[in-house]
């Protein structure tokens, strides 16, 4: 075979293989900030702070409180790295695989954190012998703390409770119901529980910690395969310092 043609064929196979390795992706077009929503947040905050001829302007603390009651939120996402990942169980011992993690939380972000949710493009092995035994292919979100003194080589380890259990919660399992049996071996979108204030996980997150996504499987034959995933991190919206200065200087000019 012509060397040029052989190289072209090899390149084509590598391209096809790489596309298969990546697998399907989640559609995250909705994750981009909505300029109209942000503009409405600023408009509302300005009206509350400046008041009207019939009402005095409100102090900053009340403005922020009302904005939170109105669910003024900003969404950030942390996406999994490219490529298909899987974890397979061979017995009763839980098989785990670290997938991805957030950036370390700052004190400011923790003060405004409102909710976290994991969404995956994933599936289990497809066939399930005993559907009544539940699903043993799932994802967990863990709280991990920094270890080591070198900032350039910072590592994280999952926190543990006083009884030795990991500080984590099960986000979601792959469904095993008969009504979805035909598509359970194919990639599909699965949404996890929304975690927020009041959850056990919430009070364990401290400044410098990260959230880690871990793939899990247990008992022989169970498989957890994922091609994409995101952590939706919602924070309460607050006016920027620059905007606050403009608002309150207009209310109380020197």
- Chain segment 90-137, per-residue pLDDT in tens: 999 999 999 999 999 999 999 999 999 999 999 888 777 667 677 889
pLDDT in tens, 59-76: 888 988 999 999 999 888
Tell me if 189 is assigned to some domain.
yes
CB 97 within 8 A of CB 226: no
- CATH number of 131's domain: 2.60.120
Average pLDDT, the chain: 83
> The tokens of 26 are what?
């989640």
Q: How many Cα neighbours within 13 Å face the side chain of 105?
A: 23
Task: Show the domain range for 164.
Answer: 77-235
Instruction: Say how many domains are in the chain.
Output: 1
Q: Is residue 154 part of a domain?
A: yes
In a domain, 56, yes or no: no
> Token pair for residue 43?
């408009």
- The residue ranges of DSSP E strands in 184-240, in sequence order, are 188-191, 210-217, 223-236
Rounded distance between C-alpha atoms, residue 171 and residue 193, angstroms: 5
- Is 39 inside a domain boundary? no
Does 155 fall in a domain?
A: yes
Q: Are strands 168-173 and 188-191 parallel, antiparallel or unpaired?
A: unpaired
Asked if the structure places residue 50 within a domain, the reply is no
Does residue 82 belong to any structural domain of this protein? yes
What's the pTM value of the predicted model, to 2 decimals?
Answer: 0.80
Region of 219 on the Ramachandran plot (φ > 0 left; ψ -120 to 50 alpha; else beta): left
Specify if 190 maps to a domain.
Answer: yes
């Amino acid at each position: 075979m012509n060397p040029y043609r052989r190289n072209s064929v090899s390149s084509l196979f590598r391209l096809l293989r790489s596309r298969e390795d990546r697998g399907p992706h989640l559609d995250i077009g909705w994750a981009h900030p909505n300029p109209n929503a942000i503009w409405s947040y600023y408009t509302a905050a300005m009206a509350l702070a400046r008041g009207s001829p019939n009402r005095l302007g409100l102090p900053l603390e009340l403005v922020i409180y009302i904005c939170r009651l109105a669910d003024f939120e900003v969404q950030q996402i942390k996406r999994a790295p490219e490529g298909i990942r899987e974890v397979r169980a061979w017995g009763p011992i839980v098989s785990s695989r670290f997938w991805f993690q957030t950036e370390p939380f700052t004190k400011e972000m923790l003060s405004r954190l409102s909710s976290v949710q994991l969404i995956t493009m994933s599936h289990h092995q497809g066939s399930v012998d005993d559907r009544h035994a539940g699903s043993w292919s799932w994802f967990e979100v863990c709280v991990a703390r920094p270890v080591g003194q070198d900032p350039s080589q910072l590592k994280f380890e999952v926190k543990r409770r006083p009884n030795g259990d990991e500080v984590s919660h099960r986000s979601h399992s792959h469904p095993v119901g008969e009504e979805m049996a035909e598509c359970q071996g194919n990639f599909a979108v699965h949404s996890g529980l929304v975690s927020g204030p009041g959850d056990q996980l919430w009070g364990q997150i401290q400044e410098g910690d990260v959230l880690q996504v871990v793939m899990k499987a247990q008992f022989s034959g169970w498989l957890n395969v994922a091609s994409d995933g995101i952590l939706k991190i919602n924070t309460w919206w607050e006016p920027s310092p620059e905007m606050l200065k403009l608002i309150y200087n207009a209310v109380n000019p020197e």
